[in-house]
Chains A and B, each alone.
Chain A
């Protein structure tokens, strides 16, 4: 394998960029080093912006062949491509041409197309959670019963009618939130934090390579 294809190169880059952020944080190295560190953070943000364009490319790779080969739902794919380019072009940062994020037509599209669609798609989950609760949220065991009781108390706690009819439900709900819920989330947070540290150290040592997987 040619030397420039070797996986050691990106691993070395990862380690260098991670250490640039870690070392000056724990060891006092002066303002000049801090300024460079800060600049590298912003520079890496610029490098990262290209990732979103990969989203565009991957959508095109899926939908353009669908349209050209007239596969099932090709019409919808065509709509997707048109809307995507329309939105991106209308939002291009050229206010002198009437385009841009604060331009009339870009705003028109996100106000009347993107916002309704995005929030409605999330909103549909209200129906699924209700029907799933009806079907599956059952006291089949002691564990399930505990989950059911605690969940129901919190649901009632969040309903003004619940706290109106049974005022104690507010305190009980808050206790469940502040004590058992907080404690298990704290344990998960500590566990997750330790896991993230181990992962970070594995990356720094070059053992963790999962994110580089792919290619030939």
Chain B
């Protein structure tokens, strides 16, 4: 068997090993889980180191000042390890403060426009007059839902006044309809991911066609051993 073919066999085995979990937790699925955690972590580290090397070679090694800054950054990044020390935990807070500070600063400057002002502007710009009746209705419903949902979340206290009751009720109903749409799309994603795996198992191009050859045998062996072992245990009792 060539290495490439063995690779496809591995892919089929790991795919089916994960799905044996549907029968019940078993050594195959457990093995798959542990291999996944190990592989994913190792993979992430490899990519990080590659990017770091690229940064050093391509950018920071050009001048002495930059080189010092890069080494300092690396030293600071080592301080992340003090996450696990109670005594030196204060050192871990330094790289954390640098990354949190920068990312909060970056997010803060964008969030005002993208998530607040632009969205308020887009809602306020909706026309209810001077457009056709259907658009006017849709725009009115949109504005109503936005305002009521915002009120529902913002004024969570002191809503005893009779005025709030219909507002809250409307917001709740609108949210349920909206979340229904989200639910429909969630179903799509869940199915699609599994469909992707089935396409792999059946060797539908661009997946390797050889997978189709391994699929029934590996499935038989995995299921057979699991069911067989359970039957053996049952009869032994």
Contact = CB atoms under 8 A, between A and B. Distances in A.
- Indicate if A touches B (C-beta under 8 A): yes
Interface of A: 4-7, 9-11, 13-22, 25-26, 39-44, 46-59, 61, 73, 76-77, 79-93, 100-101, 106, 108-129, 133, 142-144, 146-155, 157-158, 173, 175-194, 196-197, 199-200, 203, 211-212, 214-216
Nearest to A25: B109
Contact of B150 (A115, A191, A197): A191
B93 A123 contact: no
A120 B106 CA distance: 35
Interface string B52-82: 1111000110000000011001101111110
B229 interface: no
A80 B222 CA distance: 21
Main secondary structure of the interface of B (DSSP, over half): helix
Contacts of B69: 39, 43
Contact of A143 (B15, B176, B193): B176
Interface of B: 3, 7-8, 10-12, 14-15, 18-19, 21-22, 30-55, 59-60, 69-70, 73-74, 76-81, 83-84, 86-87, 89-90, 92-109, 111-112, 114-116, 119-120, 122-123, 138, 141-147, 149-150, 153-154, 172-188, 190-191, 193-194, 196-197, 200
A147 B48 CA distance: 43
A168 to B, nearest CB: 15
A7 B43 CA distance: 34
Contacts of A128: 190
A189 B81 CA distance: 35
B45 A53 contact: yes
B102 A21 contact: yes
B53 A93 contact: yes
A79 B99 contact: no
A206 to B, nearest CB: 11
Nearest to A133: B187
B43 A110 contact: yes
Nearest to B78: A50
B98 A47 contact: yes
A142 B177 CA distance: 11
Given A10-B93, A91-B46, A116 B102 contact: no
A154 B183 contact: yes
Given A100-B50, A124-B19, 18 more contacts: A10-B96, A20-B101, A41-B106, A46-B60, A48-B77, A53-B48, A53-B77, A58-B83, A76-B34, A91-B50, A113-B10, A121-B32, A123-B193, A146-B180, A150-B181, A155-B187, A189-B119, A216-B89
